[in-house]
Amino acid sequence: MQPEEADPDLDPVVLEPEISLDQELEALASTGAWEDPQAQAEVSQDSTEPEKVEPLYDFPVVVNRQVEMYLDLFQGKQRKYFGRWLARSGRYSDLILNELEASGIPKDLLYLAMIESGFNQRAYSKAKAVGLWQFMSGTGRDYGLSISRYVDERRDAEKSTKAAAAYLKCLYDEFGDWYLAVAAYNGGPGTLRKAIKKTKSRDFWKIAQSRSLRLETKRYVPKLIAAIMIAKEPEKYGFTDIVYEQPLTWEAIEVGPGLSMAAVATLTNSDQTDIKLLNQELRTSRTPMDRERYLVKIPSGTKMLAQSNLPRLHSVVQTEYKTHIVKKGETLTKICRRYNINTTTLLKVNTLTSRNLKPGTRLRIPYQNVAYRILPEGMDARIAAQDDLILHTVKRGETISKISGRYQVPAELIVAWNGLVNMHKISEGQQLALYMSSTSPTARSLRPPSTAAKESSMLVLSDSRKQLVSQNNQQNPYTWYMVRSGDSLWTISRKFNTSPDRIKRWNNLKSNLIHPGSKLKLKDV
């Protein structure tokens, strides 16, 4: 099976703290030899009663030439970036501070995520580190983060923060010093062990004066210190107009495999973009196909609505159209290749008799789309889609992937439609139901000829109005009525001058129970 296609809306983004790295290293090199720093006061200078004031920092903050360089850099050439990171910090600060406090480590390490990723869950470095805390895949897995074709929990704000807190605590337990722990977080614990052994020192600043560490790792400590100092007192450093983002909050609901974020948006009556932002760990913008259940995050306050709507969520595959304007030099073959459709389909859809295309011609391009809706209370999804139901019996060697390709429907929909626990577990002879929209070419091509014949003499009734579909209705006159909320067999029989018993007989009904959205066959009397 081919890997799932990633969602372009959730593609990795450039790591902002890495953009001006060369500029940063050049400025750092110009500061000269690394010097022993001076400790900063632990209370605000404006305090009138320092003994009653909480310490300003819980991370050891000191100042030397290297720290001052970063203070200048963040207020100067990187001011735009730093202001952006401060604004984003509002989104994650509550979540991160809670985890750091629960782990018993300095809460000022919140700003480690700032200098790692600029507080961006989708940040991706040249070294292939990912997420808020820039975990490499091996370290992420070591600390319990799942990384697969469907999920990358390095981009899950809560889970990656738990992992980062555990990792930092482990590093501190080994090195006994927060400067060394932070340097090891960046350069790796093995690098720090070698530097300590080579310099015979456990003082970070003494180690930094040697060549035992690369400049990229040395810089990490003064950069964090400067970030903490500004972030704790932004106005003091000229950041007076920061509009902090709202804290990230959510609820969670348990769903099955392959549920798309578009479906979750329908369940919660939310914007799909908001759902994707809450579930950035989902690489294909749908729940994993290899898990029976998954906790998907939804906007706060929508859980009851989602739970109510979930049993009534229905999906069908339908054909929609986009417009392509022919450019000079474009050929039919080139356009078909671009949109992955065959030439015959494109010619028929646009009623073209020639393969020659004139620049400026507007072409309709068909594509498959999945539509979601919430069925009315009490309505069975099988009734809602009975006219478009296709039953497929699994043959030897068939997979969900092959079946999805044959019917041109997403594999995850086949899984959802049939309540499959795992898309990789189907057996020969198993029957699968596919609910295809009547607008789908696949559904039309697979519909039995007898059904097409019935349609040619059918009258469709909607909202009590008849719409003539064919001129052949006199040979076999009947109509179809779409049941609406509040209808009963008795009220419908009064509208059409017939009786409830006749309606039951024409539709093989065993009882008087009917559902909104279902169709009833009615004959003229």
3-state SS record for 413-443? HHHHHCCCCCCCCCCCCCEEEEEECCCCHHH
pLDDT of residue 466: 31
pLDDT of residue 158: 97
- CB-CB contact of 434 with 392 (8 Å): yes
Region of residue 433 (phi > 0: left; psi between -120 and 50: alpha; otherwise: beta): beta
Partners of 523 in the β-ladder: 478
Region of residue 285 (phi > 0: left; psi between -120 and 50: alpha; otherwise: beta): left
Fold of 8-237: Lysozyme (1.10.530)
How far apart (Å, rounded) are the C-alpha atoms in residues 415 and 116? 39
Count Cβ atoms within 10 A of the Cβ of residue 305 and give its class: 0-12 exposed, 13-18 middle, 19 or more buried: middle
Per-residue model confidence as pLDDT tens digits over 75-107: 999 999 999 999 999 999 999 999 999 999 999
How far apart (Å, rounded) are the C-alpha atoms in residues 225 and 504? 79
**Which one-letter amino acid corresponds to residue 122?**
R
Which residues, including other chains, have CB under 8 Å from residue 493's CB and lie 6 or more apart? 499, 500, 502, 503
Distance of CA 1 to the CA centre of its chain: 22
Task: Provide CATH code, domain 454-523.
Answer: 3.10.350.10
The residue assigned the tokens 């320092």 is: 50
- CB-CB contact of 217 with 187 (8 Å): yes
Residues of the chain with pLDDT under 50: 1-3, 41-52, 381-387, 438-439, 447-476
List the structure tokens of 507: 């539709």
- pTM, 2 dp: 0.69
List the structure tokens of 89: 């910090």
**Max CA pair span of the chain:** 103
List the structure tokens of 502: 């006749």
Write the CA distances from 417 to 133, 205, 402, 421, integer angstroms.
38, 62, 16, 11
Per-residue model confidence as pLDDT tens digits over 373-394: 887 666 554 444 444 567 788 8
Q: Is-same-fold flag (8-237; 454-523)?
A: no
